[in-house]
Amino acid sequence: MADKWISIGKLKTADLTPYNHCIGLYRHKVNGRIMYIGRAIEYNNGGFRKRLSDYRRNSDSARKHTSGQIINQHLDEIETEILIVGDGADNVEQTKRLEKEYIAKYNPEWNKQCK
């Protein structure tokens, strides 16, 4: 696994616009500890910007799932890093595979709570 994670800062205030067409993995850290690993694979619908913005919205779009509820409750604490895999359909399967590998490697607490 290649570790080319990019810190985008606090999830609550991060500028996601530069990642509008990028897809890949994101990980949320609290006090330096990886708490959640997820994927953004909607390359035609906003990529990382869309996926990560969902956690910050007043609507319940991302909070229908346990993970979204947990992340929204910790917005003030979360530092987010992204791993850009690509920008198209040919990168979706690779992103899904990497997500499984990283979850197995780090066993994040919030991913376990969401099973």
Which residue(s) pair with 86 in the sheet?
23
Query: Containing H/E element for 99?
Result: helix 92-106
Residue range 17-36: mean pLDDT, rounded: 95
- Rounded to two decimals, what is the model's pTM? 0.90
Instruction: Give residue for tokens 């198209």.
Output: 88
> The tokens of 95 are what?
């992103």
pLDDT for 37 equals: 97
Residues 95 and 90: their CA atoms lie apart, in Å, by 10
**Predicted pLDDT of residue 112:** 83
pLDDT tens digits for range 54-108: 888 766 655 567 788 889 889 999 999 999 999 999 999 999 999 999 999 999 9
Residue 95 near residue 83 (C-beta atoms within 8 A): no
Across the range 50-54, mean pLDDT stands at: 90
